[in-house]
Amino acid sequence: SQQGEEDPQALSIQEGENATMNCSYKTSINNLQWYRQNSGRGLVHLILIRSNEREKHSGRLRVTLDTSKKSSSLLITASRAADTASYFCATDARVNDYKLSFGAGTTVTVRA
Amino acid sequence: ETGVTQSPTHLIKTRGQQVTLRCSSQSGHNTVSWYQQALGQGPQFIFQYYREEENGRGNFPPRFSGLQFPNYSSELNVNALELDDSALYLCASSLPGLAEETQYFGPGTRLLVL
Protein backbone atom coordinates (compact mmCIF):
# COMPACT_ATOMS: atom_id res chain seq x y z
CA SER A 1 0.00 0.00 0.00
CA GLN A 2 1.13 3.56 -0.59
CA GLN A 3 2.34 5.33 2.50
CA GLY A 4 2.44 8.86 1.11
CA GLU A 5 -0.14 11.08 -0.50
CA GLU A 6 0.78 14.20 -2.44
CA ASP A 7 -1.31 17.31 -2.65
CA PRO A 8 -2.30 18.83 -5.01
CA GLN A 9 -2.62 16.17 -7.71
CA ALA A 10 -1.80 18.76 -10.36
CA LEU A 11 -0.34 22.26 -10.39
CA SER A 12 0.03 24.77 -13.21
CA ILE A 13 2.20 27.83 -12.75
CA GLN A 14 3.91 30.55 -14.77
CA GLU A 15 7.65 30.44 -15.35
CA GLY A 16 9.40 32.30 -12.56
CA GLU A 17 6.75 31.54 -9.95
CA ASN A 18 7.25 29.21 -7.01
CA ALA A 19 5.68 25.76 -6.84
CA THR A 20 4.75 24.13 -3.56
CA MET A 21 3.54 20.58 -3.12
CA ASN A 22 2.81 18.60 0.01
CA CYS A 23 3.13 15.00 1.09
CA SER A 24 1.38 13.33 3.99
CA TYR A 25 2.20 9.89 5.31
CA LYS A 26 0.68 7.48 7.79
CA THR A 27 3.34 5.92 10.02
CA SER A 28 6.60 6.97 11.64
CA ILE A 29 9.37 7.12 9.09
CA ASN A 30 13.12 6.78 8.86
CA ASN A 31 13.73 9.05 5.85
CA LEU A 32 11.61 10.93 3.33
CA GLN A 33 12.78 11.52 -0.23
CA TRP A 34 11.51 13.48 -3.20
CA TYR A 35 11.88 12.24 -6.77
CA ARG A 36 11.07 13.78 -10.15
CA GLN A 37 9.77 11.90 -13.19
CA ASN A 38 9.64 13.32 -16.71
CA SER A 39 6.99 11.97 -19.09
CA GLY A 40 6.71 8.44 -17.70
CA ARG A 41 10.44 7.84 -17.70
CA GLY A 42 12.74 6.87 -14.82
CA LEU A 43 12.71 8.72 -11.54
CA VAL A 44 15.46 11.11 -10.56
CA HIS A 45 16.38 11.57 -6.91
CA LEU A 46 16.07 15.19 -5.78
CA ILE A 47 16.60 15.32 -2.04
CA LEU A 48 16.51 13.18 1.11
CA ILE A 49 15.51 14.45 4.53
CA ARG A 50 15.96 12.38 7.65
CA SER A 51 13.36 12.07 10.39
CA ASN A 52 15.48 14.19 12.77
CA GLU A 53 15.81 17.05 10.25
CA ARG A 54 13.27 19.81 9.77
CA GLU A 55 14.45 21.60 6.63
CA LYS A 56 16.85 20.98 3.80
CA HIS A 57 17.92 22.96 0.73
CA SER A 58 19.38 21.94 -2.59
CA GLY A 59 19.72 24.64 -5.22
CA ARG A 60 16.21 25.94 -5.96
CA LEU A 61 14.62 23.20 -3.86
CA ARG A 62 13.54 23.51 -0.25
CA VAL A 63 12.10 20.59 1.67
CA THR A 64 10.50 20.72 5.08
CA LEU A 65 9.50 17.85 7.32
CA ASP A 66 7.04 17.98 10.21
CA THR A 67 7.03 14.59 11.89
CA SER A 68 4.34 15.65 14.38
CA LYS A 69 1.96 16.24 11.47
CA LYS A 70 3.42 13.43 9.38
CA SER A 71 3.87 15.77 6.46
CA SER A 72 6.50 17.22 4.16
CA SER A 73 6.55 19.98 1.59
CA LEU A 74 8.67 20.57 -1.49
CA LEU A 75 9.15 24.13 -2.71
CA ILE A 76 10.65 24.85 -6.12
CA THR A 77 11.60 28.50 -6.41
CA ALA A 78 11.83 30.52 -9.63
CA SER A 79 10.39 27.68 -11.69
CA ARG A 80 11.52 26.97 -15.25
CA ALA A 81 9.87 25.13 -18.13
CA ALA A 82 12.31 22.27 -17.50
CA ASP A 83 10.73 21.76 -14.06
CA THR A 84 7.61 20.42 -15.78
CA ALA A 85 7.37 16.88 -14.43
CA SER A 86 5.68 14.67 -11.86
CA TYR A 87 7.03 14.85 -8.32
CA PHE A 88 6.80 11.97 -5.86
CA CYS A 89 7.54 11.69 -2.19
CA ALA A 90 8.83 8.36 -0.92
CA THR A 91 9.18 7.21 2.64
CA ASP A 92 10.94 4.31 4.26
CA ALA A 93 9.65 3.01 7.54
CA ARG A 94 10.09 0.07 9.86
CA VAL A 95 6.51 -1.03 9.08
CA ASN A 96 7.57 -1.59 5.44
CA ASP A 97 10.92 -3.14 6.37
CA TYR A 98 12.55 0.15 5.28
CA LYS A 99 11.60 -0.37 1.62
CA LEU A 100 10.53 2.75 -0.26
CA SER A 101 6.83 3.54 -0.42
CA PHE A 102 5.78 6.19 -2.97
CA GLY A 103 2.80 8.49 -3.13
CA ALA A 104 0.71 9.04 -6.26
CA GLY A 105 2.57 12.21 -7.19
CA THR A 106 1.94 15.84 -8.09
CA THR A 107 2.05 16.78 -11.77
CA VAL A 108 3.59 20.22 -12.24
CA THR A 109 3.24 22.19 -15.47
CA VAL A 110 5.33 25.33 -15.86
CA ARG A 111 3.99 27.64 -18.56
CA ALA A 112 6.44 29.80 -20.51
CA GLU B 1 21.75 9.60 -16.74
CA THR B 2 22.01 7.23 -13.79
CA GLY B 3 23.94 4.40 -15.42
CA VAL B 4 21.06 2.00 -14.84
CA THR B 5 19.79 0.44 -18.06
CA GLN B 6 16.68 -1.60 -18.78
CA SER B 7 15.57 -3.68 -21.72
CA PRO B 8 13.41 -3.77 -23.64
CA THR B 9 12.00 -0.23 -23.62
CA HIS B 10 8.55 -1.35 -24.77
CA LEU B 11 6.81 -4.70 -24.93
CA ILE B 12 3.40 -5.95 -26.01
CA LYS B 13 2.14 -9.32 -24.76
CA THR B 14 -1.17 -11.11 -24.64
CA ARG B 15 -2.97 -12.33 -21.57
CA GLY B 16 -1.58 -15.63 -20.23
CA GLN B 17 1.88 -15.16 -21.72
CA GLN B 18 5.12 -14.84 -19.77
CA VAL B 19 7.57 -11.93 -19.88
CA THR B 20 11.16 -11.30 -18.77
CA LEU B 21 12.46 -7.80 -18.17
CA ARG B 22 16.12 -7.01 -17.65
CA CYS B 23 18.08 -4.45 -15.65
CA SER B 24 21.77 -3.59 -15.40
CA SER B 25 22.60 -1.73 -12.24
CA GLN B 26 24.97 1.18 -11.78
CA SER B 27 28.59 0.20 -11.32
CA GLY B 28 29.35 -0.67 -7.70
CA HIS B 29 25.71 -1.20 -6.72
CA ASN B 30 24.81 -4.69 -5.53
CA THR B 31 21.22 -3.96 -4.50
CA VAL B 32 18.44 -3.86 -7.08
CA SER B 33 14.78 -3.05 -6.46
CA TRP B 34 11.88 -3.49 -8.90
CA TYR B 35 8.77 -1.35 -9.03
CA GLN B 36 5.50 -1.41 -10.96
CA GLN B 37 4.01 1.94 -11.91
CA ALA B 38 0.47 1.97 -13.27
CA LEU B 39 -0.66 4.97 -15.30
CA GLY B 40 -1.24 7.99 -13.07
CA GLN B 41 0.07 6.25 -9.96
CA GLY B 42 3.30 6.17 -8.01
CA PRO B 43 5.71 3.23 -8.18
CA GLN B 44 4.74 0.18 -6.14
CA PHE B 45 7.56 -1.92 -4.64
CA ILE B 46 7.67 -5.46 -6.07
CA PHE B 47 10.86 -6.90 -4.54
CA GLN B 48 14.51 -6.26 -3.87
CA TYR B 49 17.63 -8.34 -4.46
CA TYR B 50 20.87 -8.06 -2.55
CA ARG B 51 23.85 -10.25 -3.45
CA GLU B 52 21.65 -12.58 -5.51
CA GLU B 53 19.14 -13.18 -2.71
CA GLU B 54 15.62 -11.76 -2.41
CA ASN B 55 15.70 -9.14 0.33
CA GLY B 56 12.11 -8.05 0.78
CA ARG B 57 8.94 -8.33 -1.22
CA GLY B 58 5.90 -6.14 -1.68
CA ASN B 59 2.28 -7.18 -2.05
CA PHE B 60 2.64 -9.00 -5.37
CA PRO B 61 1.63 -12.61 -6.18
CA PRO B 62 4.20 -15.40 -6.70
CA ARG B 63 3.83 -15.18 -10.48
CA PHE B 64 6.11 -12.15 -10.13
CA SER B 65 9.60 -13.56 -9.62
CA GLY B 66 13.13 -12.33 -10.01
CA LEU B 67 16.78 -13.15 -10.27
CA GLN B 68 20.00 -11.34 -9.61
CA PHE B 69 23.21 -12.48 -11.27
CA PRO B 70 26.81 -12.40 -9.99
CA ASN B 71 27.44 -9.20 -11.98
CA TYR B 72 24.42 -7.69 -10.10
CA SER B 73 22.26 -7.41 -13.19
CA SER B 74 18.71 -8.55 -12.57
CA GLU B 75 15.62 -9.98 -14.21
CA LEU B 76 11.94 -9.62 -13.44
CA ASN B 77 9.74 -12.47 -14.66
CA VAL B 78 5.97 -12.33 -14.78
CA ASN B 79 4.00 -15.48 -15.56
CA ALA B 80 0.36 -15.82 -16.64
CA LEU B 81 0.10 -12.16 -17.59
CA GLU B 82 -3.12 -10.33 -16.75
CA LEU B 83 -4.49 -7.13 -18.26
CA ASP B 84 -3.77 -5.28 -14.99
CA ASP B 85 -0.07 -6.07 -15.38
CA SER B 86 0.08 -3.34 -18.03
CA ALA B 87 2.38 -0.75 -16.48
CA LEU B 88 5.81 0.85 -16.49
CA TYR B 89 8.31 -1.44 -14.75
CA LEU B 90 11.21 0.33 -13.12
CA CYS B 91 14.36 -1.03 -11.61
CA ALA B 92 16.57 0.92 -9.26
CA SER B 93 20.00 0.20 -7.88
CA SER B 94 21.59 1.44 -4.69
CA LEU B 95 24.73 1.17 -2.66
CA PRO B 96 25.14 -1.76 -0.27
CA GLY B 97 23.39 -1.23 3.02
CA LEU B 98 21.83 1.99 1.83
CA ALA B 99 18.86 0.64 -0.06
CA GLU B 100 16.52 2.87 1.89
CA GLU B 101 18.49 5.89 0.81
CA THR B 102 19.12 7.25 -2.66
CA GLN B 103 18.02 4.90 -5.41
CA TYR B 104 19.13 5.27 -9.00
CA PHE B 105 16.38 4.44 -11.45
CA GLY B 106 16.54 3.11 -14.98
CA PRO B 107 14.31 4.50 -17.73
CA GLY B 108 11.78 1.69 -17.36
CA THR B 109 10.12 -0.92 -19.54
CA ARG B 110 6.58 -0.16 -20.64
CA LEU B 111 4.54 -3.37 -20.79
CA LEU B 112 1.17 -3.57 -22.50
CA VAL B 113 -0.92 -6.71 -22.00
CA LEU B 114 -3.72 -7.24 -24.51
pLDDT tens column, B46-92:
999 988 999 899 999 999 999 999 988 999 999 999 999 999 999 99
What are the chain B neighbours of A100 within 8 Å (beta carbons)?
A: 33, 43, 45, 100, 103
Beta strands at A85-92 and A106-111: parallel, antiparallel or unpaired: antiparallel
Smallest CA–CA separation between B106 and chain A, in Å? 5
Residue of B nearest to A29 (CA): B100
- The three-state secondary structure class of A95 is helix
**Taking CB atoms and an 8 Å limit, are A88 and B45 in contact across chains?**
no
Which residues does B51 contact at the CB level (< 8 Å), separation at least 6? B30, B68
State how far the Cα of A87 lies from the Cα of A106, in Å rounded to an integer. 5
Between B44, B58, B90, which is nearest A42 by CB? B90
Smallest CA–CA separation between A86 and chain B, in Å? 10
What is the CB neighbour count within 10 angstroms for residue B95? 15
Structure confidence at residue B1 as a pLDDT band (50, 70, 90): low
pLDDT in tens, A36-65: 999 878 899 999 999 999 999 999 999 999
Between A33, A101, A104, which is nearest B45 by CB? A101
State how far the Cα of B96 lies from the Cα of A22, in Å rounded to an integer. 30
